[in-house]
Amino acid sequence: MTDLVAVIIPAGGSGERLGAKIPKALVQLAGKTLIEHAVAQMAPVASQIIVAAPAGYEEQFQQLLGSEVTVVTGGLTRTLSVKKALAHVDKGNEFILVHDAARALASTDLALRVIDSLRAGEKAVIPGLPVVDTIKRVDTDNYVTKTPTRSKLRAIQTPQGFARKVLIKAHSSADDVTDDAGLVEDRGVDVKVILGEDRALKITTMSDLEIAHKYLISESSNQIRVGIGTDAHAFSADPSRVMWLAGLLWPNEIGVDGHSDGDVAAHAICDALFSASGLGDLGSNFGTSDPKYSGASGSQLLAEALERVQAAGFSINNVAVQIVGNRPKIGPRRAEASTALSRALGGVPVSVSATTTDGLGFTGEGRGISAIATALLSYRAR
Ligand code: CTP
Ligand code: MG
């Protein structure tokens, strides 16, 4: 049985230095508030999360964070906010992490490393980074009184981890400190510094918010998703049925039966796009029962699919589609097909290939036509 961990996130500050008109924890960063980012990173390690909200914002916080999170009213200082949250920690938690909503991007991995160190027997564990600037102590007239050796200095971050009893005892004093380790140190407890991380930066000013945004953007550009889709239709017995394939009209070809224009290439691509973005499939998006889509052209469906994947935060890197069948012969119109499909998707590169199946199966027997498509998408944090 692993020891349970409570996470306290003080978010009761007003964020004066950031200068937004709302509390800092409610400021948006790539589509989510800072407090939502902080909770999302800590949730995987926490049995209990307690957030101290600015007075008057409790309900808004509760709605935003859901019923799993305990929201309490913050105090006049960070120390008081932590103290108020501490009163709500369940006794079953062996360890308590004290974090900051302002360090919204501190990672789950960092929290895990703090907890690992507690489990190894430390009573107080704090993340820190070596400092790059020389730090000087000055007196009230700004004269230097001391220059500590830089290599021995660390810039301290959160989440800071403590054995529950150690933290509760330390907070029983009335001191006001900028971090909780300060209280614990004063009581003679050994405080261990482990390596922090750049992304745990404290968001204080607008330029910090921009730096934080860059972390999310560079992460999201790595979030690529692949999808797959297929479709098949039988050639129609009705010789007047026209053939649409790959966004093109094919004169002198008999079309396929189907609810829409029967463009298997376009349909397979739509499915691949939905598959990559986790938005379901062709049927769940353009149900056969919806009259809006009966008779819809392949190009219209592609344009609609594009809109839906973009609305879900994705952009399309490229699409590939292979048409399987004896006819029509794709080769002479390959470039034209590629252009038509690409145009329907707002200019995304679409490669078109074709194959027969050596006389095998319904395509080889000339009874129908099918297509298989793949799509590569990138998720963009907004
Ligand atoms: N905090 C808190 N209660 C307070 C003051 C601060 O819970 N009375 C929290 C903040 O919400 C923040 C963390 O403590 O998550 C660190 O504080 P800081 O970065 O200074 O945030 P603010 O006090 O909101 O910002 P500022 O000092 O610029 O007003
Ligand atoms: Mg402050």
Averages of pLDDT over each 10 residues, the chain, 382 residues: 89 95 94 94 97 98 97 96 96 97 98 97 98 96 97 97 95 81 92 98 96 82 88 94 96 88 95 94 83 83 96 94 96 97 97 96 96 93 52
Q: Say if ligand 1 is within 6 A of residue 24 CB.
A: yes
* Centre of ligand 1 from the C-alpha of residue 124, in Å: 22
Contact 119, 97 (CB under 8 A): no
Give the environment of ion ligand 2: residues with CB less than 5 A: 13
The CATH superfamily label for domain 4-216 reads Spore Coat Polysaccharide Biosynthesis Protein SpsA; Chain A (3.90.550.10)
The ranges assigned to domains in the chain are 4-216, 222-380
pLDDT computed for residue 82 by the predictor: 96
Q: How does 162-178 read in b/e, with b if 16+ C-beta sit within 10 Å?
A: bbbebbeebbeeeeebe
Which CATH number is 222-380 given?
Answer: 3.30.1330.50
According to the model, what pLDDT value does residue 174 have? 64
Query: Is 11 touching ligand 1 by the criterion CB < 6 Å?
Result: yes
pLDDT score, position 277: 92
Beta strands at 124-130 and 160-163: parallel, antiparallel or unpaired: antiparallel
CA angle 300–306–310, rounded 5-degree value: 150
Q: Which of 36, 78, 105 to mutate to test the pocket of ligand 1 (most atoms within 8 A of CB)?
A: 78
Please tell me if the CB atom of residue 208 comes closer than 6 angstroms to any atom of ligand 1: no
- Is any atom of ligand 1 closer than 6 Å to the C-beta of 101? yes
- pTM for the whole thing? 0.68
Assess whether the C-beta atom of 64 lies below 6 angstroms from ligand 1. no
**Cα–ligand 1 centroid distance for 11 (angstroms):** 6
Q: What pLDDT, on the 0 to 100 scale, is given for residue 381?
A: 55
Q: What is the DSSP letter of 54?
A: P
Alpha carbons 378 and 318: distance in angstroms, whole number = 10
Distance CA 319, CA 352 (A): 9
